[in-house]
Amino acid sequence: MHLKPLQQLIKGQSLEALAPLLEERYLDSIRHGDFSNWRARLSRLPKLAASSIELGNTVRFGDIAGCDATAQLALSEQLREFIPWRKGPFEVCGITLDSEWKSDLKWDRLNHRIAPLKGNTVLDVGSGNGYYGFRMLEAGARLVIGIDSHIAYVAQFWALKHFVPELPVFVLPVALENLPLPLEAFDTVFSMGVLYHCRSPIDHLLQLKQCLNPGGQLILETLFVDGAEGYCLTPEAKYARMSNVWFVPSIATVLNWLQRCGFVDTEIIDESTTTTDEQRTTEWMPYESLQDALDPQDSNKTIENLPAPRRVAITASRP
């Protein structure tokens, strides 16, 4: 993980408050998530650099000098050590990493409905392996910082970043609550697929607000269920096989939460039903996926007899 470029980019700016999280002693202090073993795997990646970069629906790093058939096979085996690949798709040296989520579909639903990212400093909370961060660069962002406490996904990002070290996108092994808040340093903040995993969604929204510059935009994407303002599904144990889902609110409830947290100019920009075309088992994510989480007799319900996953994306601004 080469963080010196990020240290240079934030020097003398409000983002310099992140500097302690970029120091080697902080990284060495991380004991969860098998971090030391992931870093060892990253250190064994071949010293190759991509001479062509495509930040489209499939994020491609190609034309890698020295990546012949033998090297490609060896690299494929190394990248398989990072399975499961949840977000994507990516292509590295001709190797297609067919992820569980066709994340390009979500990006296409949002990209033209949000405020322009050109020249912006962007925070992606719960960024996973950084797929959306690369797409944010494509949309013109000046700098993208992702944060995720799931170490395996952070390691995936750094495996990809290894081939494109010059791109101004980074993912840090940090949780939102561990940032030095208030930051007030980002023009745009994304929180996609995170809110329903939070034990305190109100605290999550307040923390997101503290990351934004005045006038900055939040893009909030979350699961939702039908219901009036104030209604929120609280699963008894699991939701769609996920044990870490605490609250699935109605859209009216999410809008109320945003208003109570002081956001303004809220707008619903997308509603969608998750399908087994968008989220599915693949060679690069060979475990259970959405099809295993739905009632085999009724795809409108989960196997727990709860409403099947639907998602809403909402924009809001900090005054």
- Class (C level, CATH) for 14-317: alpha beta
The mean pLDDT value for 63-81 works out to 90
pLDDT in tens, 281-294: 999 999 999 999 99
Q: Output the pLDDT for position 140.
A: 98
* Position 66 pLDDT exceeds 90: no
pTM over 0.95: yes
> Cis ω on the peptide bond leading into residue 116 (within 30° of 0)?
no
Residue 217, beta-bridge partner list: 188, 317
Q: Output the pLDDT for position 32.
A: 87
Q: Output the pLDDT for position 42.
A: 95
d(CA 64, CA 163) in angstroms, rounded, equals: 9
pLDDT in tens, 11-55: 999 999 999 999 999 999 998 889 999 999 999 999 888 989 999
d(CA 154, CA 172) in angstroms, rounded, equals: 7
Q: How confident is the model at residue 84 (pLDDT cuts 50, 70, 90)?
A: very high
pLDDT in tens, 295-312: 999 999 999 999 999 999
Give how far the C-alpha of residue 171 lies from the chain's centroid of Cα atoms, to the nearest Å: 9
pLDDT in tens, 126-183: 999 999 999 999 999 999 999 999 999 999 999 999 999 999 999 999 999 999 999 9
Place of tokens 């961060």: 133
pLDDT in tens, 198-239: 999 999 999 999 999 999 999 999 999 999 999 999 999 999
**H-run or E-run covering 107:** helix 103-110
Q: Output the pLDDT for position 305.
A: 97
Q: Output the pLDDT for position 23.
A: 94
* Position 65 pLDDT exceeds 80: no
* Position 119 pLDDT exceeds 80: yes
Instruction: Return the DSSP state at 194.
Output: -
Q: Output the pLDDT for position 96.
A: 96
**H-run or E-run covering 231:** none
Q: Output the pLDDT for position 2.
A: 85
Instruction: Return the DSSP state at 13.
Output: S
- 51 close to 66: Cβ distance less than 8 angstroms: no
Alpha-carbon torsion, ordered 283, 289, 295, 301, to 10 deg: -140
- 149 close to 175: Cβ distance less than 8 angstroms: yes
Non-local (6+) Cβ contacts of 177 within 8 A are 203, 207
Burial class (CB in 10 A: 0-12, 13-18, 19+), 119: exposed
Give the tokens for residue 66.
């020295």
Rg, C-alpha atoms of the chain: 19
Q: How confident is the model at residue 64 (pLDDT cuts 50, 70, 90)?
A: confident
Per-residue b/e over 133-172, b at no fewer than 16 CB within 10 Å? bbbbbbbebebbbbbbbbbbbbbbbbbbbbbbeebebbbb
- 35 close to 152: Cβ distance less than 8 angstroms: no
